[in-house]
Amino acid sequence: MVRAEREDTGPTVASDEVGSAGADSEIDLLPPASEPRELLRTDFPGATDPVVDRIPKGRRPNRWLLIAIGVLLALLAVDGAGIAANAALSSLYNPGRAVTDYFAAQSRGSVGGMMANATFLPGSDPAFFSSSAVAAMMAVPQNRDLKDVHIISTQSIDYSTETVNVSMTWAGTPRRQAYTVRTDNSRVHELIYHSWRVDIPFATVQLALPNQPGAMAVDNINTASPDPDSVQVIQGYHEVTMIANFAYDTSTRLIDAVGYPGMASFQSTVGSIAAYHASKAVTLAFSACGSADDTCLEHTYSARPGYSWSWELPGYGHVEGTTYRYALVGDPTVGMILKVTTQPGIVTAIGSCASTITINARVYKFRGDWTAKLTWSSGDFTAELSDYCFDVRDDSGTGTV
């Protein structure tokens, strides 16, 4: 309680009332309870704080400390998000991912996906390393038969090159391959993450070709050379084709050129079309007969009256007669052997033959061989024939002799 003391500026007023204080006591002056108290102004120079300001107050939170804690928490949240984002981007853009993405695209037959993740190291013929060549390669079912692709290990070569070792099952065969993977500086993500590209090596397919082969093609793309010894292709399975020509039918070999050089061997067997034309040419040569020829097949010759002919027949000796007839027994082209030479358009033919000479109605039997030089011209063969069909007596048990 604040006690107000009156200044002694006049006589003390005595109370008419009798109280405990007595007649001469001073009256305590208290302000009404409802009347506010006025504090002394302390805004003049040298004034001290009022009493009320010295009453302890509750401690206010430090605003700057709260701000610092908030900033720290925000930085930690951003840093955590950054770590997560970094991990996600690192898993998306790395050498191993480029390898698995390439083979995933290959298993789908996706040419665009393969081209986006790989660099096809070119061989001698650029036609076999274009996007068209990749599309043609994907038409071979074995190239899409990829399973269980796993990264075994990676090894850094330098800041932009790594070796990735991968295992897989390709066309049913377990394989392990090592691929060089390089950064792709043309594709940068989030300013620091580069895409990677796999170096897909070329494989060499050795070709074993017959004389005068047909044009060669790989996956239906013709080779630059008409008669190559080898061809370089994208690593994988390929269909190597020798296209039909005058001597050979079209033939195709499926070549495994994944982990090692392939070999495509083509036989020298003359094709069915060439054999047909060869048979026709030989038959025509056997039946050819000139006006002055006296040995034409299937033609009966008769001596003039009073004249006769004589022969020394192999195995029969001396024979005379006034009529004779030469004939072949069966088809001499059955079982003939055709061989393509190194001379352009030339094929040789050899075969066996059976024949008879009928003299004065008596049949003499023979056997022998024949050869022919066949020349291809204007879509057909012509034959130069040499026959020895009447050189050896035939005692096979048939005929009159």
* 172-228: pLDDT as tens digits: 999 999 999 999 876 654 445 678 999 999 999 999 999 999 999 999 999 998 889
- pLDDT tens-digit profile of 236-276? 999 999 999 999 999 999 999 997 789 999 999 999 999 99
Residue 35 has pLDDT above 80, yes or no: no
Q: How far is CA 34 from CA 30, 31, 37, 38, in A?
A: 11, 8, 9, 13
DSSP E strands, 335-361:
337-340, 346-359
The region of weakest confidence among 18-32, 77-91, 117-131, 164-178 is 18-32
Query: By the 8 A CB rule, do 184 and 195 touch?
Result: yes
Beta bridge partners of 237: 256
Instruction: Kindly report the average pLDDT of the chain as a whole number.
Output: 83
CB neighbour burial string for 21-40, b if at least 16 within 10 angstroms, e if fewer: eeeeeeeeeeeeeeeeeeee
Position 75 scores a pLDDT of 58
% of the chain exceeding 70 in pLDDT? 74
Query: How much is the average pLDDT of 272-298?
Result: 94
Q: Average pLDDT in the 20-35 region?
A: 42
Q: State residue 316 phi and psi, 5-degree precision.
A: -115, -20
User: Is 246 in a helix, a strand, or coil?
Assistant: coil
> Is residue 324 very low, low, confident or very high in pLDDT (cuts 50, 70, 90)?
very high
Q: Tell me the domains of the chain and their CATH numbers.
A: 94-269 (3.10.450.50), 272-393 (3.10.450)
pTM above 0.85, yes or no: no
The residue type of 44 is F
Evaluate if residue 359 carries a pLDDT over 60.
yes
pLDDT tens digits for 74-107? 655 545 544 444 444 445 568 999 999 999 999 9
Over the stretch 42-52, which tens digit does the pLDDT of each residue have? 444 444 444 44
Question: Is the confidence at residue 11, as pLDDT, over 50?
Answer: no
Q: Is the pLDDT of residue 280 over 70?
A: yes
pLDDT band for position 290 (50/70/90)? confident
Write the burial class of residue 222 (CB in 10 Å: 0-12 exposed, 13-18 middle, 19+ buried): middle
